Amino acid sequence: MTHHLAPWNPFSELARMREDMGRFFADSPFSPMQWQQFQRLPGPSVDIDETEKEIIVSAEIPGVNPAELDVTVDETKVTISGEIRRSTDRSEEGYRMTERRYGRFSRTIPLPAEVKPDEAVANYSHGVLEIRMNKAEGGRVRSRKLKINDIH
């Protein structure tokens, strides 16, 4: 009787476990296609620009009626909320993939300096909401860039 010895590979068991997990998740509600819908941000993507006198928040919100948006500004934050509706009624049967976001959303954005809420202005054009806010006099900056000391 002859026994053949094969070198032990510590990763073979891990590879088999990975394959088993892949098969498990492929047929479950946690498959990559299903999981993508849970990984989206809770609201619109934003850019924040700061000048000497103002803070400008630009938010991508395509396909929304600006009259259905709510924007609230206080000294330290902006909250944008609304609803994006489907443009047509379609049955779920024909869909192969959907990446567009529909439904209610709300996003609160902290500001890098205090602003004057009474002077804020919001404009919506080509799917982008722009909120311009004048900084408060002596508005405190709540972040700063630190110098990194090399301690060699």
pLDDT tier, 59 (very low <50, low <70, confident <90, very high otherwise): very high
- Which residues of the chain form CATH 2.60.40.790? 42-86+101-140
For residue range 76-106, list pLDDT tens digits in order: 999 998 887 776 666 666 666 666 667 788 9
Q: How is the beta sheet containing 77-84 ordered, strand by strand?
A: 70-73, 77-84, 103-110
CB 60 within 8 A of CB 80: no
Determine the pLDDT at residue 34.
Answer: 52
Determine the pLDDT at residue 14.
Answer: 81
Which residues in the chain belong to E strands, given as ranges?
Answer: 46-50, 54-60, 70-73, 77-84, 103-110, 121-125, 128-134
Which amino acid makes up residue 89? D
Residues across the chain:
152
CA separation (Å) from 88 to 43, 56, 65, 99? 22, 33, 15, 16
Distance of alpha carbon 131 from alpha carbon 120, whole angstroms: 7
CATH number, domain 42-86+101-140: 2.60.40.790
Distance of alpha carbon 85 from alpha carbon 83, whole angstroms: 6
Average pLDDT over residues 36-45: 61
- How much is the pTM? 0.62
pLDDT tier, 55 (very low <50, low <70, confident <90, very high otherwise): very high
For residue range 16-25, list pLDDT tens digits in order: 888 888 777 7
Distance of alpha carbon 119 from alpha carbon 55, whole angstroms: 12
Determine the pLDDT at residue 46.
Answer: 94
